[in-house]
Amino acid sequence: MARLAVENLKKSFGAVDVIRGVSLAAESGEFVVFVGPSGCGKSTLLRLVAGLETADSGGISIGGRDVTTADPAKRGIAMVFQTYALYPHMSVADNMAFGLEMAGVAKAERERLVREAADLLHLTDYLDRKPRQLSGGQRQRVAIGRAIVRKPDIFLFDEPLSNLDAELRVKMRLEIARLHRELGATMVYVTHDQVEAMTLADRIVVLRSGLVEQIGSPMQLYSDPDNSFVAGFIGSPRMNFVQAEVTGLWDGKLLLNVPDFGLTDLAVRPRAMPAKRPVSLSLGVRPEHLAEGVAGSHRVSLRCNAVERLGAVTYLHTAPGDDNTVTAQLTGSSSARPGDSVEVALASEQCFLFDAAGARV
């Protein structure tokens, strides 16, 4: 395991700036997840760390060693690809041993290391099989095994679970978490799935358009987002944003009129009181904090236009498909139907405020 540090990294493809000055660090043994929408540059950032792309400027160091221009194989990293990228003509054992062979490890030692990794990944019975004879989950385990045998300082995962079905994804997610605990290695993981990010990460790096939006622990991002992008991206279903007019100040809080919720003088504490009182703001509230059957300081009546029943909970949507739709979390046994008016509770201390540019207020 080793510390990964990225300093003001920049990369463009032609006229397109994909990475526009990213700095971050993954501490030794830490599980860091890069998350963001498609095209945000997260995969490119990982490929830069891997050495599969060359940075235009900036630096990358692993374990204190500058590897910005080092060969991928000399960086002490191993990568697991989204598409597994197994060698189809080689057996599972050969797939896992290939990197060791290239590193000049003796045959007996290679076999021992492969067997060790296969045990860890429950692949022992499949060592003689070809990749095409394996299921998707097994293939991905082989790809992980190929990374493990090399005992890298840092593991890189590029959306490793996105080709698997939902059930297998949950299983593999737990397995990767277990591997991280057992190996204690530094892991950098790219995903667009915020559930994977929340469940696996020690720290999440939220990226947008080639820039870091926020870095923090999953709960930090969830409960204290820096801007509306992070607030909307972390948490599922996504946070509701509604327009609010600022009417006054009271006890360190801003008083707001929220027409969409039919609320007046809703008192919300800003992160830091702005020097100049804003006229209008965007009020962010998560569906689970706009909920039925929980305590809340305010009652909000919502028009139900669509209902999603998930069993344990039910989600109400006021304008499904619309960007301004409001989603509220109802109880699993809720009898709400489209057309109904449903009353939910809103806790003002769970509300966030954002300015017109999306920055947290």
Partner 1 sequence: MKRSATINALMVACGAFFITLVGLPFWWVVSGSVKVPQEIIARSPTMFPHSFTLQHYNKLFDASAYPVYLANSLIVAVSSTALTLALAIPAAFAFFRLDFPGRGALYRTILLAYAFPSIVVLIPLFGLFAKIGLVDRLPALVIVNAAFALPFSIWMLRSFFAGVPKEIEEAAVMDGAPTMTILRRIMIPLVAPGIASVGIYAFVSAWTEYVFASVLILSDAKRTLPVGFSGIIGQYQIDWGLLLAGATVAIIPVVAIFALIGRGFVSGLTEGAVK
320 touches partner 1 by CB under 8 A: no
Cβ atoms of 29 and 1 within 8 Å: the answer is yes
250 touches partner 1 by CB under 8 A: no
Minimum Å gap between C-beta 178 and partner 1 is 23
Kindly state the helix (H) or strand (E) to which residue 191 belongs, with its residue range: strand 186-191
Single out the residue of 23, 54, 83, 335 in contact with partner 1 (rule: CB under 8 A): 83
Query: Which stretch, 4-12, 77-85, 195-203, 235-243, contacts partner 1 (CB under 8 A)?
Result: 77-85
Q: Which residues contact 345 (CB under 8 A, 6 or more apart)?
A: 290, 291, 292, 293, 294, 295, 296, 297, 298, 299, 300
Total count of residues recorded for the chain:
361
What are the CA-CA distances from residue 193 to residues 18, 34, 197, 198, 204 (Å)?
A: 20, 10, 6, 9, 12
Single out the residue of 57, 87, 184, 333 in contact with partner 1 (rule: CB under 8 A): 87
| Mask for 182-201, x = binds partner 1 (CB under 8 A) | --------------------
Minimum Å gap between C-beta 85 and partner 1 is 4
Shorter beta-carbon distance to partner 1: residue 142 or 307? 142
Q: How far is CA 177 from the centre of its chain?
A: 14
Minimum Å gap between C-beta 354 and partner 1 is 39
Shorter beta-carbon distance to partner 1: residue 1 or 96? 96
Cα 184 from Cα 151, distance rounded (Å): 11
72 touches partner 1 by CB under 8 A: yes
φ and ψ of 51, to 5 deg = 95, 10
Single out the residue of 34, 84, 352, 354 in contact with partner 1 (rule: CB under 8 A): 84
Site for partner 1 in 140-179 (CB under 8 A): 146, 150, 163
DSSP conformation letters of 262-278: TEEEEEE--SS--SS--
Shorter beta-carbon distance to partner 1: residue 49 or 302? 49
Single out the residue of 22, 79, 239, 291 in contact with partner 1 (rule: CB under 8 A): 79
Give yes or no for a cis peptide into 237 (omega within 30° of 0). yes
Site for partner 1 in 120-139 (CB under 8 A): 130-134, 136, 139
Q: How far is CA 18 from the centre of its chain?
A: 19
Cα 234 from Cα 83, distance rounded (Å): 25
Residues that bind partner 1 (CB under 8 A): 50, 52, 71-74, 77-79, 81-89, 98-99, 102-103, 130-134, 136, 139, 146, 150, 163
